[in-house]
Amino acid sequence: MNGNAAELDAVTIAYGGKPLLREVSLGIAPGTVYALLGRNGAGKSSLVRVLLGLQRPEAGKALLFGRDPWRERASLMDRVGVVPEAPDAPSTASADLLSAFCGRVHGRWDAGGVATRLDRLGVPRRRPFGKLSKGEKGSVHFALALGASPDLLVLDDPTLGLDPVARHELFGDLIGELADRGTTVFLTTHDLAGVEGIADRVGILAGGKLAVEGDLEELKSRFRRITYSNEITPSRESYGTELDLFDAARVRVRGWGVEAVVTNFDDARFERFRTQEGVSAAGAEPMSLEEIFLAVAGIREREERKTS
C-alpha cells in the first residue's frame, strides 16, 4: 500500500468486547475517489473515525500520508477536509462567521470560494447555524471542508438529509473539485446512484468484513445477473451443477427457470455455461452499483444472522 494518501491495514474494531469489523484493509491512491458502502451499523463511520485519528482500533493500523493519525493528528489535519455524518458547530455562528474563523486558522483559506459554494447550494450565509436545516448544515461543512484546498477530503454520508437538488449540486461541486485539483476523496454514502458517477474504487462492508472491493468498472464487468431455463433438473425448487463455473452471490429458482447473481463473469466462461447440456435461453445482464450492493450486502448479512 506504499504511496497511498490513506490506508487501513488489518483494522479490527470492537465495542464492548464484541467485534464490529475484522481485519479491514484498503488503500486510497492519490487523486482517486474511494466510496465505502454498507448498511446502517455496518461500521463505515467507525472506520472514518479510525482513519482520522479519533478512535483507536482494537488491532491493525491506519495511515494518513504514511503517518499515524492517532499519534500525529494535529499536524495531519491541516491536509484533510472533513464532512462528518452529524454536522455540528456553535448554534449562534453563521456560515460567514465560521468561514472567517477558519480563515484565521488556515493560511491558504479561500473565503470567496466558500461563499460562492454556499450560495450555489442555497445556504443562507448569515443565518445562525442552529437555525439551519440538517441538509443546510451538511452543506456548510462541505463548503468549509473545501475552503483550505485539502489534499484529502473525507465525507461521511454527505448527502444525508439533502433534497434531490442539493444532492445534485453537492456531487456537481465534488466533480468540479476533482477536475480542478485532483483532490483525493474518501466517501461513505447511501446515495449509490450519485457515487456511481464519480467513484474510482468501491468497497462494500457486510458481515463484519470488507466483503467486496475493486475498481468500479472492474466490479461492474464481473458482476452479472444470469437467467436461464434448466431442462435437466426436474424440480422447480432446485437447480443442478451448471452454475459451478461461476461464483454465485445469490441464486433464485423461479417458475420459469433460474436467476443468479455471479461475481466472476467473463464472456468465455458464459459461453461455456450456456452451451452446457440442459441450459437454454441463457442471458446475462449488467448490474448497477446499487444492484451489486443489494446482492452482496443482503446475502452476507443473512449469512451472518444464520451463524450468530
Model confidence pLDDT, tens digit, residues 143-179: 999 998 899 999 998 877 677 777 777 777 777 677 6
Kindly state the average pLDDT of the residues 236-262. 82
Model confidence at 306, pLDDT cuts 50, 70, 90, reads: very low
| Same domain, residue pair 201 and 85 | yes
More confident residue, 138 or 236: 138
User: Cβ distance 223 to 247 under 8 Å?
Assistant: no
User: Cβ distance 156 to 125 under 8 Å?
Assistant: no
Is 297 contained in some domain? no
Instruction: Residue 188: give its domain's CATH number.
Output: 3.40.50.300
| Same domain, residue pair 164 and 276 | no
Kindly state the average pLDDT of the residues 110-131. 93
The burial class, CB within 10 Å (0-12 / 13-18 / 19+), for 40 is exposed
Is 266 contained in some domain? yes
Is 276 contained in some domain? yes
Cβ contacts of 172 within 8 Å, gap of 6 or more: none
Give the pLDDT confidence score for residue 238 in this predicted structure: 54
Give the pLDDT confidence score for residue 304 in this predicted structure: 44
| Same domain, residue pair 145 and 77 | yes
| pLDDT over 90 percentage in the chain | 60
| Sign of the Cα pseudo-torsion (140, 70, 215, 250, in order) | negative
Task: Quote the DSSP letter at residue 3.
Answer: T
| Same domain, residue pair 250 and 104 | no
Residues 53-66 have pLDDT tens digits of: 999 999 999 999 99
Instruction: Residue 277: give its domain's CATH number.
Output: 3.30.70.260
Whether the pLDDT of residue 233 is over 60: the answer is no
Closest CA to 55 of 39, 40, 65, 44: 44
Q: Any alpha helices (H) in the chain, and if so which ranges?
A: 44-51, 69-76, 95-105, 111-120, 134-146, 164-181, 192-196, 216-222, 267-274, 289-307
Compute CA distances 43 → 206, 215, 228, 301, whole Å: 9, 21, 37, 13
Whether the pLDDT of residue 307 is over 80: the answer is no
Extract the C-alpha cell encoding 116.
460562492
55-72 core/surface letters (b: 16 or more CB in 10 A; e: else): bebbebebbbbeeebbee
- Whole-model pTM? 0.87
| Same domain, residue pair 121 and 265 | no
Kindly state the average pLDDT of the residues 126-133. 95
Kindly state the average pLDDT of the residues 278-306. 78
| Same domain, residue pair 43 and 145 | yes
Model confidence at 300, pLDDT cuts 50, 70, 90, reads: very low
Whether the pLDDT of residue 2 is over 90: the answer is no
| Same domain, residue pair 126 and 232 | no
Dist. CA 181–CA 150, nearest whole Å: 10
226 DSSP β-pair partners: 260, 284
Whether the pLDDT of residue 201 is over 70: the answer is yes
Q: Domain range spanning residue 276?
A: 224-286
Per the prediction, the chain carries an average pLDDT of 87
The residue out of 188, 214, 240 marking a domain boundary is: 214
Residues 205-231 have pLDDT tens digits of: 998 999 999 999 999 999 999 999 877
Is 121 contained in some domain? yes
**Rounded to 10 degrees, what is the CA torsion of 272, 289, 206, 141?**
160
Q: Please report, as a single letter, which amino acid is at residue 175.
A: I
Give the pLDDT confidence score for residue 159 in this predicted structure: 78
Give the pLDDT confidence score for residue 174 in this predicted structure: 74
| Placement of cell 474494531 in the chain | 13
Give the pLDDT confidence score for residue 303 in this predicted structure: 44
- How many CB atoms within 10 Å of residue 17? 6
